[in-house]
Structure formats: structure tokens, C-alpha cells
Amino acid sequence: MNKEISLTVNGEAHTVSVEPRLLLVHLIRENLNLTGTHIGCDTSSCGACTILMDGKSVKSCTILAVQANGHSLETIEGVSAEGQLNPLQNGFKQNHGLHCGFCTPGMIMRATELLASNPNPTEEEIRWGISGNLCRCTGYNNIVKAILHASATMQGLEPASTEPQFV
């Protein structure tokens, strides 16, 4: 028995009829064709599906679509205009905070809430803050740098050099 739900995604209102068991991540990817939100596991471990729900980062594989009824969602497609990068996206680009790009949207959505709640985090706070998101490629060093870069930019400060530092 399908259920009709209404929700806002990236500022756009949608009314959709869904199976009650449909996962939110499948609604986003399959029904709304927003494929920037990825699926990397089936145990809520990897965080590739992280989106914002009413400003809070959530793993959209762990929420049913019907639970999003009446809520406002933001996905990676909504964080900047096409062809433009917001400070976090730019931080990732400038600091080589991504390799294959698969975990990247989830990382950015998680970091969005992290910086909203803590605009000037320490390295340790960032590491704990993204510890629900797995990245297999980068080793995290440059993801941390990317988030620090965005934090500085968003506070109007000069970010640290983006040149690679070697011993």
C-alpha cells in the first residue's frame, strides 16, 4: 500500500507516492534522480548517503522515505549552483580532499553540519566529526585540511597554503 508524502528537496517541493518500506536514499536516487547521494554499505557504516534533513546530517539509508514526510532535505546537488563551488567544495578541490569522489558528497554534507555547529573546529574535532564517514582513498589528511580551509574561508580568514607539505 503506497503512501503519499510531501517533502522539500533542495528548496523544491515534491509530493510522491511511495512504498512505506522505501529507504530515503532510494527515494532521492531513484525517484528524484538525484544520484549525487551514494550508497556504500548496508549497515549505516560508511556515510556515503549522508544528506541534511532540516539542517542535521543524517544517513539517508537509515531513514524511511515516509519518515521524511513534511521535512526539508538538502543533498549535494543543492549546496551550490551548477558550475560553482561553495567554500567546502572549494576546500576539497584546493586541498585534494577527494580521489575517486564516491564518499565525497557524504563527506561534504556531514562537514556542512559540522561547520554550522562548530565554525572553527580543531583537527581533532574534525576527525571525530567525520568519523561516521568512510573514505578508502585519501587517508583523511587532506579531507581534514579541506574542512579547515573551508572553516577559514567562511570566517573571512586567510586559509592555510594549499600546496602539499613535504618533510
Residues lying near other proteins in the complex (CB under 8 A): 19, 21-22, 26, 29-30, 33-43, 45-46, 48, 75-77, 80, 82-83, 85, 89, 92-94, 96, 98-105, 108, 123, 126-128, 130-144, 163-167
Is 29 or 57 the residue whose CB approaches other proteins more closely? 29
Q: How far is CA 72 from CA 36, 68, 152, in A?
A: 17, 8, 28
For residues 57-71, one letter each, b for 16 or more C-beta atoms within 10 angstroms of the residue's C-beta and e for the rest, the string is bbbbbebbbbebeeb
Could you give the CA distance from residue 147 to residue 63 in angstroms, rounded to a whole number?
A: 26
Specify the residue, 20 or 55, whose C-beta has the smaller distance to other proteins. 20
> Cβ of residue 64: shortest distance to other proteins, in angstroms?
13
Q: In terms of CB distance, is 7 or 23 closer to other proteins?
A: 23
In the complex, least distance from residue 99 CB atom to other proteins, rounded to whole angstroms = 3
> Which of 12, 22, 4 minimizes the C-alpha distance to 60?
22
Query: Least distance to other proteins from the beta carbon of 62, Å?
Result: 12
Nearer to other proteins, 15 or 84 (CB): 84
Element (H, E) at 153: helix 141-154
Distance of closest approach, residue 71 Cβ to other proteins, in angstroms? 20
* Least Cβ distance, residue 11 to other proteins (angstroms): 15
What whole-number distance in Å separates Cα of residue 111 and Cα of residue 109? 5
Sheet with 56-59, edge to edge strand ranges: 12-18, 3-9, 72-74, 50-53, 56-59
Of 3 and 70, which has the nearer Cβ to other proteins?
3
